[in-house]
Amino acid sequence: MNGLAVRQRVGMRVRAAREAAGITQEKLAAMIGLGRSSVANLEAGRQEITVTRLAYLAEVLRLDLADLVRAGDLPVPPHEVTIRRIFEVECLTCGLIDGALTRAGALEAKRDHIARMRGESRNG
């Protein structure tokens, strides 16, 4: 079932459970407060479903929610990646002294630090 949306996977499981229980779409729809076309769309994966209705479905079909929605169904969450510092300038004596966005900026920070520690002025 790779590549299927969560609602498609759930829909396939609802259809299989409904058919196994010998319940028509019309009867299932009446039991959970939907129209028959909504149940058909749900089973086809074309319609989203609320958690409440999903719980009703599970109860009517005598299933656990985990039978309808499985951990592997959910997409991998996006990773939030932040670049804080590309070039960190660190003195073994003083510790971290600067973070620069470019290599040239890092080299400049290194030269400035060395000059300050020698008591030299680089403003020239």
How confident is the model over 31-87, as pLDDT tens digits?
Answer: 998 999 999 999 999 998 889 999 999 999 999 999 999 888 877 666 665 655 566
Nearest-CA neighbor of 68 among 4, 32, 15, 22? 15
Task: Say which amino acid occupies 6.
Answer: V
Extract the tokens encoding 80.
């939030």
- In this structure, what DSSP letter does residue 63 have? -
pLDDT tens, 2-22? 567 889 999 999 999 999 999
For residue 86, what are the contacts with CB-CB under 8 A and spacing of at least 6? 99, 100, 101, 102
Helix axes 36-44, 25-32, angle to 10 degrees: 100
What's the structural domain count of the chain? 2
Asked if residue 96 and residue 69 are part of one domain, the reply reads no
pLDDT computed for residue 124 by the predictor: 46
Residue 46 and residue 100 in one domain: no
- Asked if 16 and 56 sit in the same domain, the reply is yes
Q: Which stretch of DSSP H or E encloses residue 58?
A: helix 51-60
**CATH number assigned to the domain comprising residue 40:** 1.10.260.40
Q: Indicate left, alpha or beta for 78 from its phi (over 0: left) and psi (-120 to 50: alpha).
A: beta
Residue-range definition of the domain harbouring residue 95: 87-118
Rounded Cα–Cα distance for residues 94 and 117 (Å)? 10
Q: What is the pLDDT of residue 36?
A: 96
Say how far residue 25 (Cα) sits from the centre of its chain: 32
Tell me the pLDDT tens digit for each residue of 91-110: 777 777 676 667 787 788 88
Backbone angles phi, psi at 23, to 5 degrees: -105, 135
pLDDT of the residue at 91: 77
